[in-house]
Structure 1
Amino acid sequence: ENSVGPPIEEIIQLQVETAPQLLQKPPAVTEAHLNQTTSIAFKCLSTPKPVIHLFRNDVEIQLTDEHYEIVTNPTDLTSY
């Protein structure tokens, strides 16, 4: 102790954000047929979870959660 009083303890959570690091690049071109499922496989390290943008002829494709899914490996905390 000192003349100011007892020490104060605080528990905090720190989240460090980093730019995504590609471990496995996706293919430059992926073909998808109407009403069929396709996959674009890649791996990256990222904190927080990455935001995915897809483009066709340099125009972003507007996606909703019902049209795509990011599959993660639960054993890799920051690997997607």
Structure 2
Amino acid sequence: PLHDTAQNQIWLEIVQLALDLLAWLPMLALTGQPRLWEPRRLRLRLFSAAAQIVTTARRRHLRFGRHWPWSDLITGAVQRLDALPNPG
């Protein structure tokens, strides 16, 4: 437990940011049926995917396992997020 009021406020801000990201992800990155998934299903299928960070030619790539059924969904979501205009 956090004993200081400032620590609790920081923790609350972090939790609120995580909830905002969880709410905006389906709207911005997912299409079709996955867009309607509840947070529990998102955690099970998207956020628990096994991946490796691979560095080649001074670039980093995230390589998902081919056996994971939702790898295409994750890579498509990342590509859609990448295509969004930079807000600032």
The two structures have a TM-score, normalised by structure 1, of 0.21
Instruction: Answer 1 or 2: which has greater helix percent.
Output: 2
Q: Which has the larger radius of gyration?
A: 1
Larger relative contact order (Cα-Cα within 8 Å, sequence gap ≥ 6): 1
TM-score with structure 2 setting the length = 0.20
